[in-house]
Chain A
């Protein structure tokens, strides 16, 4: 039993995901305060260990079946790691990896789990987790029990301090033996989105539409506005799911993270999954007829004018 905090590193295409650095920063804070170590578990792509400077230790696992994320393979290895390392806390995320693993590991290793964590703080000898539920309408405060707990953390919850000049951490392989024999799950291919006509992640100005647009036919006037502004048209998930716009335009948790200088949002309510995609937008202007839409807590400027009244007025002025 230790006061170690274990973080599962997530990576794809040769890079460690941002969420892993957020979790590592929090792990250092919590472990440091209790005499434990911040340990990172890295499955596959073990050459990425050198990017994890700031970890007290990296436990790496090399195996061909870990080259691509596989829920069952990951689960077996992480479970073995939890048994060996016995951390006070295991931190993962609410990405696909976290959604697959956290609940399964909670049951398999009989460890309490708090999901949707947005805050994690030491309070004396205890650790208190705050989680967002009901779409963020309510927060839940949970005292994490001893001897161990799992937290699945929302992306963007913890800041990442500059870790320049951190040395590459010590690495200790974790042996898995025959643990990955007889898997019942196999990843046959990974599809990356087509480059598409336009890269919304590098645009300085974006016009983004959501369900408020109503139907596909109504997109035309917004497309005209985007074109007049010289900006790509982006969209929230529901429009892409319907096939009205290609995946390359989708902003949000399952889509792309954008960082425009101005993000003009029309008819988007501001669900957490969409907000994850715009955290780095400099100035957010939101148009939504619902004065209580959650987006107005996040946007810099807002209006409840109907987008169908606003867009033609914008077009007039932009074209002038």
Chain B
């Protein structure tokens, strides 16, 4: 049983985002990148499946800025292999092209189950799990919060909104977009990550040739005008509390 986990680094949203001069991408030069939080959940769910069902977990990512960090961390957390697909160029890689590259790699390498995050902050042209499954002709489900394996079938819980969820059986091989792992992502200690770094361990291969693009013209990116702003209550905690209680009483509550 091989589980491939597809990882992507995204700009750290704690930072302010500057635009590149042509206005169609963020300025990547001074950005810091973090692992897409939903990909982190996907990795955790894969590691839980490895522990409960026995499986080989392969973490795969495109060679994008600061990606080594997330691949070493994946190995330190317990992934069996980490693969970096190189030669993909600079700048933002759209979902269509990204899914084409992963599809080509998976077609060669094979996996019984592919997990990736349900979405990422830069998914302008769609989310990876459904894009990828259509390229591979595989069944898929997104917004998944639990996966169990039963022979050639994955039993998944898919959230539907409003607190409701569906239990869905999906024949393997399949692609799942993970919303949340069954538990919070585990930590890998700095020393463990260093150990793994020193042992080498990221397999670097050329990304297979793949075509794809969003198929539309991005006119520009721009920062939204703040639609408004809260009236800020100032003063001591007591003074602010006074105002808030006034507001509540004012509504007759």
Contact (Cβ within 8 A) B168 A186: yes
Does A318 make an interface contact (CB < 8 A)? Answer: yes
Q: Let me know if B134 and A285 touch, CB within 8 A.
A: no
- A264 engages B169 (CB within 8 Å): no
Among listed B44-52, B54-62, B115-123, B198-206, interface-contacting one? B115-123
Q: Does B227 interact with chain A (Cβ within 8 Å)?
A: yes
Q: Do residues A143 and B121 form an inter-chain contact, with CB atoms below 8 A?
A: no
User: In the complex, what residues of B have CB within 8 A of residue A137's CB?
Assistant: 13, 17, 223-224
For residue B178, give the distance in angstroms from its CB to the closest CB of chain A: 12
Write out the residue numbers on chain B whose beta carbons fall within 8 Å of the beta carbon of A226.
none
Q: Could you say which residues of chain B place their CB within 8 Å of the CB of A309? A: 237
Residues from chain A with Cβ under 8 Å of B99 in the complex: 103, 107
The CA-CA distance from A185 to B130 in the complex, in Å, is 14
Does chain B have a CB within 8 A of A34? no
A104 to B19, CA, bound (A): 30
Contact with A along B169-190 (1 / 0, CB 8 A): 1110010010110001000000
Within 8 A of B (CB), among A63-87: 68-72
Tell yes or no: A254 within 8 A of B by CB.
Answer: yes
The docked-state distance in angstroms from the alpha carbon of A142 to that of B124 is 10
Q: Could you tell me if B125 and A106 are in contact, using CB atoms closer than 8 angstroms?
A: yes
Name the prevailing secondary structure of the B interface residues. mixed
**A111 contact set on B, CB distance < 8 A:** 215
A171 to chain B, nearest CB (A): 25
Residue pair B232, A304 in contact (C-beta under 8 Å):
yes
Which B residues, 219 to 253, have Cβ-Cβ distances below 8 Å to chain A? 219-224, 226-234, 236-238, 240-245, 247-248, 251, 253
Restricting to A93-139, which residues have a CB under 8 Å from any CB of B?
95-96, 99-108, 111-116, 128, 131-139
Task: Specify which of B123, B164, B166, B248 is in contact with A115 (CB 8 Å cutoff).
Answer: B123
Q: Is the CB of B96 within 8 A of A107?
A: yes
Contact B95 A188 (CB under 8 A): no
- Min CB distance B38 to A, Å, is 11
From known contacts A136-B224, A152-B126, infer whether A191 and B166 are also in contact, taking CB-CB under 8 Å. yes
CB distance from B132 to the nearest CB of A (A): 8
Cβ-defined partner of A108 (8 Å) among B134, B142, B224: B134
**Residue of A108, A135, A204, A303 contacting most chain B CB atoms (<10 Å):** A303
Q: Is the CB of A185 within 8 A of B161?
A: no
Query: Are A191 and B139 closer than 8 Å at their CB atoms?
Result: no
Q: Chain A contacts of B238 at CB under 8 A?
A: 313
Query: Is residue B131 contacting chain A, with contact meaning CB distance below 8 A?
Result: yes
Interface residues on A, range: 35 or more
A285 to chain B, nearest CB (A): 6
CB-CB < 8 A to B214: which residues of A? 112-113
B82 at the interface (CB under 8 A from A): no
Across the interface, which residues of B come within 8 angstroms of A302, CB to CB? 230-233
B127 at interface by CB-CB < 8 Å: yes
Min CB distance B122 to A, Å, is 6
A188-B167, A253-B161 known; A305+B240 contact, CB < 8 A: yes
Which A residue sits closest to B179, measured CB to CB? A254
**Contact between chains at A303 and B232 (CB < 8 Å):** yes
* A-side contacts of B151, CB under 8 Å: none
Judge whether B165 and A191 touch: CB under 8 Å.
Answer: yes
Asked if residues B237 and A184 are in contact (CB atoms below 8 Å), the reply is: no
Query: In the complex, what residue of chain A is closest to B144 when comparing beta carbons?
Result: A96
In the assembled complex, the Cα of A192 lies from the Cα of B161 at a distance in Å of 10
A190: chain B residues at CB < 8 Å are 160, 164-167
**Minimum C-beta distance from B210 to chain A (A):** 12
User: Which of A152, A187, A310 is B237 in contact with, Cβ under 8 Å?
Assistant: A310
Complex partner residue of A134 from B122, B140, B226, B234, CB under 8 angstroms: B122
Instruction: Please give the distance in Å from A56's CB to the nearest CB on chain B.
Output: 26
Determine if A103 and B95 form an interchain contact, defined as CB atoms under 8 angstroms apart. yes
Is there contact, CB below 8 Å, between A185 and B230?
Answer: no
> In the assembled complex, which residues on chain B have CB atoms less than 8 Å from the CB atom of A261?
251, 253
Given contacts A99-B142, A133-B121, A143-B217, contact A229 B166 (CB under 8 A): no
Q: A141: CB under 8 A from chain B?
A: yes
Known: A135-B13, A261-B253. A229 touches B248 (CB 8 A): yes
CA gap between A296 and B223 in the complex, in Å: 16
**Contact between A192 and B13 (Cβ–Cβ < 8 Å)?**
no
- Asked if residues A99 and B118 are in contact (CB atoms below 8 Å), the reply is yes
Q: Are A144 and B248 in contact (CB under 8 A)?
A: no
Q: Which of the residues B134, B227, B240 comes within 8 Å of A107, measured between beta carbons?
A: B134
Q: A96-B143, A133-B121 are in contact. List 11 more A-B contacts (CB 8 A).
A: A99-B130, A99-B177, A106-B131, A133-B124, A138-B224, A142-B217, A187-B168, A192-B164, A241-B180, A261-B253, A285-B247
Jot down 11 A-B pairs with beta carbons below 8 A, ordered by A: A103-B128, A107-B134, A112-B215, A133-B121, A140-B218, A143-B216, A241-B180, A241-B184, A256-B162, A310-B241, A314-B241
